[in-house]
Copies of this chain bind each other. A is one copy, B any other.
Amino acid sequence: MSYSRNQLHSFTRAFFEKIGCSAGNAAIIADVFVAAEMRGIGSHGLIRIPDHYHLWKAGRLNTKPAMKITRETVSTAVIDGDNAPGMLAAAFSMDTAIRKASGAGTCWVACRNSNHFGIAGYYAMMALEHDMIGICLTNANPLVAPTFSISRLLGTNPIAVAVPAGKHPPFVADFSTTPIARGKLEVAVRKGEKTLFGYVQDREGRPSDNPGILREGGAMLPLGGDREHGSHKGYCLSATVDILSALLSGAGFGPFVPPSVAYLPLPGENNGKGTGHFFGAMRIDAFRDAGEFKNAMDKWIDTFRKAESVEGQPSVLIPGDIERKQEEISKKRGMNLIPAVIDELNRIASELDMDTRL
C-alpha cells in the first residue's frame, strides 16, 4: 500500500500532538520525518516513531520543551534543547545559526540535551535558500567500536553538508561515518535479511553478517572497515563529530549518549546532558560573490557528471542525486512502508486513541 505525503504527515503530526507537542511543533517534527520518507531514507522515517513512543512512555522525552541559547558570541551559540524531540532542538539550532551567520558571515551552534533528530541533511539544507552552506553533525547511540576494539564508544555520527549551486540542484551530502547507516541494519533485521561482511563485528570482534548482532553485544565498524583500509580514519571522523557535538555543548559524549533504542541500557554515569549536535551556516558572499560561486559550483557539477565510468558501472553521482530523484518519484507515486512497521504504528495509534490510522 502506498501513502501520500499528506497521509504520512498527518499521522506523524497526530502522534506527536497526542504525546504532548504543540500543533506547530508537531508539524516541524512531521516535516523532518516525512522528508526522510520522501527522500527514500525510510530507515530514518516513520520506522522511528515507535522509538519516540517508548522514550516518551519511559518519561525520557520532553514534548513541551523550553529551548534556549545559554551562551553566545557573534559567530557562535550554545543551545540547551531541554530534552526536546531532536527535530525541534535541531531546527531551532539551525535557525539560530542561519540568523547569526547573516550578520557575522558564519555561525556555529553546539546543542546539548537533545535527542535523535532524524536525517542530518534536512538541517544542512535549511541554509540553501539563504545562499549559505549548511553543515550538520550529531552524535548517536553508542554502537560503533573504535579501531582495534570491541567497546561500543561511538555512534554512526553522521555528517551533512549542503552547498547551493546555480542552474543545477544543490550538492547535498549526508552520510554516516560508518560503511552503512544503523537504520539500514534495522531495515535488514525487519526484512529478515543478512548483510555483507565489513559492516559489523560480534561481541568478540569477529566479522559478522548478522544485522541483528548489535542486540547481542556486537558493534558496527567505522568507515574504512579494518585498519589496513583506513578504519582509523573513520574513527577519527566519528570522534571529531562526537567532540564537536558533545564536548562543545556539554552533551553526553560517546558511550554516554542516551540511547534511542530499547536494547541499549541507559548510561550509568552521567557525563553530560542528552544527545549533542553541531551546526554551521556560512554565507557564500562572506567569501565570494554568490553568483560567481554558483557558476563555479555548476562547473564543478558538470565536471563530475562528465566523469568516465568503469565499464559496467553506473554514472558518477553528485551527492544528493539519489534522494532528489526519489523525492520526485515519491511525489508522483507515494511511499511504501514495511508492513510490520504499519502494524506497529497502528497499534500505537490505537493505544493512544488517535483518530488517525495508516
The 0/1 profile, CB within 8 Å of B marked 1, for residues 293-336 of chain A is 10011011001101111110111110100000000000000000
Known contacts A179-B229, A229-B179; is-contact A148 B315 (Cβ 8 Å): yes
Whether A223 sits at the interface, judged by CB under 8 Å, is yes
Contact of A78 among B148, B287, B300 (CB under 8 A): B287
Q: Are A296 and B247 neighbours in the complex by a CB distance under 8 Å?
A: yes
Q: Which of B110, B151, B163 contacts A287 (CB 8 A)?
A: B110
- Please state if B288 and A250 are interface contacts (CB–CB under 8 Å): yes
A303–B247 Cα distance when bound, in Å, is 13
Question: Counting CB contacts under 8 A, is A65 at the interface?
Answer: no
Contact B149 A309 (CB under 8 A): yes
Instruction: Looking at the assembled complex, report how far the CB atom of A139 sits from the nearest CB atom of chain B, in whole angstroms.
Output: 11
Complex-state Cα separation, A198 to B224, whole angstroms: 10
The docked-state distance in angstroms from the alpha carbon of A107 to that of B76 is: 10
Q: Indicate the member of A76, A133, A314 with the most B CB atoms within 10 Å.
A: A76
Chain B neighbourhood of A25, CB < 8 A: none
Task: Return chain B residues, CB-CB under 8 Å to A110.
Answer: 287
Contact indicator B314/A148 (Cβ below 8 Å): yes
Residue from B179, B196, B303, B311 within 8 A of A224 (CB atoms): B179
| A249 interface contact, C-beta 8 A | yes
A161 partner residues in chain B, CB cutoff 8 A: 236, 240
Number of copies: 2
By size class, the interface of chain A is 35 or more
Whole-angstrom distance between the Cβ of A126 and the nearest chain B Cβ: 18
Q: State which residues 21-35 of A face B: CB under 8 Å.
A: none
In order of increasing CB-CB distance, the 5 nearest A-B pairs are A73-B105, A205-B310, A173-B236, A75-B75, A151-B307
Q: List 19 A-B contacts (CB under 8 A).
A: A71-B286, A73-B104, A76-B283, A76-B286, A104-B104, A108-B282, A145-B307, A148-B310, A148-B317, A150-B310, A151-B307, A159-B237, A163-B247, A173-B240, A179-B230, A196-B228, A223-B224, A254-B300, A271-B299
Q: Which residues of A contact B (CB under 8 A)?
A: 71, 73-76, 78, 104-108, 110, 133, 145-151, 153, 159, 161, 163, 171, 173, 175-180, 196, 198, 201, 204-205, 223-225, 228-230, 232-237, 239-240, 242-244, 247-250, 253-255, 271-272, 282-284, 286-288, 292-293, 296-297, 299-300, 303-304, 306-311, 313-317, 319
